Amino acid sequence: MTRRVLTGVFMLVVMTVLTGIIYPLTITGVTRVLFPHQASGSLIYRQGQAVGSALIGQRFTSPRYFHGRPSAAGKDGYDATSSGGSNLGPTNKELVAAIAQRLARVQAENGLPDGTPVPADLVTASASGLDPDISPAAAYLQVPRVARARNLPEETVRALVDRNITGRQFGILGEPRVNVLKLNLELDQLSPSAR
């Protein structure tokens, strides 16, 4: 029996070295050379400063920027050290109340009359809390507000949204979407941030 346990111990050590050290470090080393941009988080730089990751959503509240989805990650949302969704169930009063409140806020922010339908993604919290995208409809809805706040013609801003729509991958996979951070970066190039 001792010999069998020893075989088990040796096997565990060998496999730990192989699959727990050699394997991940090989992938780390190879990808550092082949895909350094992706391996380190697809970071976006502006004037030499990292301003975010192309894959991770950020919190936007200013009327001058397009807003992303509600986020349940961390206390204030978009906390990329505490990813996750709200986990609110379909018959939870809190979910209904939260969505009603978000609807009212989106309508008020964008100067829409009460009762104007709002795209679902703009009033529901994402799974990761870090969703970088919104639906094209959710972006178009915000065009008049952003244009007003930046003193830009609506057509200019709408054209920017048009250009930033990512279609289904290979024409069939996934859903059409707009990356909010990239869109806002291009917006800042169009009319520099007031900040």
Partner 1 sequence: MVSTDILQMAFYLLLLILLAIPLGFYMARVFNGESTFLDPIFRPLERLIYRLTGVDAGREMNWREYALMLVVFNILGMAAVYLIQRIQGILPFNPQHFGAVPPDLAFNTAASFMTNTNWQAYGGESTMSYFTQMTALTVQNFLSAATGIAVAVALTRGLARRTARTIGNFWVDLTRSILWVLLPLSLGLALILVSLGVIQNLNPYLTITTLEGGRQTLAMGPVASQEAIKLLGTNGGGFFNANSSHPFENPTPLTNLLEMLAILIIPAGLTITFGQMVGNHRQGLVILAAMLLLFVFALGVVYASEHYGNPQLGALGMRGPTAMEGKEVRFGIVNSSLFATITTAASCGAVNTMHDSLTPLGGLIPMLQMMLGEVVFGGVGSGLYGMLVFVILTVFIIGLMVGRTPEYLGKKIEAREVKMAILAVLIPAATILLGSALAAVIKTGTSSILNPGPHGLSEILYAFASGAGNNGSAFAGLNANTPFYNIALGLVMLIGRFGVILPVLAIAGSMAGKKMVPPGPGTFQTTSLLFTGLLAAVVLIVGALTFFPALALGPLVEQLLMLAGKTF
Q: How far is the CB of 136 from partner 1 (least distance, A)?
A: 10
- Of 38 and 154, the one with the shorter C-beta distance to partner 1 is 38
Q: How far is the CB of 87 from partner 1 (least distance, A)?
A: 4
- Of 40 and 155, the one with the shorter C-beta distance to partner 1 is 40
Q: Residue 195's Cα: distance from chain center in Å? A: 23
- Of 147 and 181, the one with the shorter C-beta distance to partner 1 is 181
Examine residue 183 and tell whether it contacts partner 1 (CB under 8 A).
no
Q: Are 182 and 164 in contact (CB under 8 A)?
A: yes
**Closest Cα partner for 98 from 78, 69, 74?**
69
Measured in degrees and rounded to the nearest 5, phi and psi for residue 110 equal -100, 10
Q: How far is the CB of 24 from partner 1 (least distance, A)?
A: 4
Examine residue 18 and tell whether it contacts partner 1 (CB under 8 A).
yes
SS3 44: strand
Q: How far is the CB of 122 from partner 1 (least distance, A)?
A: 9
Q: Which positions ≥6 away from 103 have C-beta within 8 Å? A: 118, 123
- Give the DSSP letter string of 2-27: HHHHHHHHHHHHHHIIIIIIIHHHHH
- Of 27 and 155, the one with the shorter C-beta distance to partner 1 is 27
Applying the rule CB under 8 A, the residues between 65 and 124 that interact with partner 1 are 65, 69, 73, 78-93, 95-96, 99-100, 103, 115-121, 123-124
Q: How far is the CB of 177 from partner 1 (least distance, A)?
A: 5
- Of 41 and 156, the one with the shorter C-beta distance to partner 1 is 41
Q: Which positions ≥6 away from 132 have C-beta within 8 Å? A: 54, 55, 56, 57, 68, 179, 180, 181
Measured in degrees and rounded to the nearest 5, phi and psi for residue 136 equal -55, -40
**Closest Cα partner for 54 from 68, 66, 38, 43?**
43
Per-residue x/- mask for partner 1, residues 150 to 169, rule CB under 8 A? ------------------xx
Q: How far is the CB of 150 from partner 1 (least distance, A)?
A: 14
- Of 35 and 155, the one with the shorter C-beta distance to partner 1 is 35
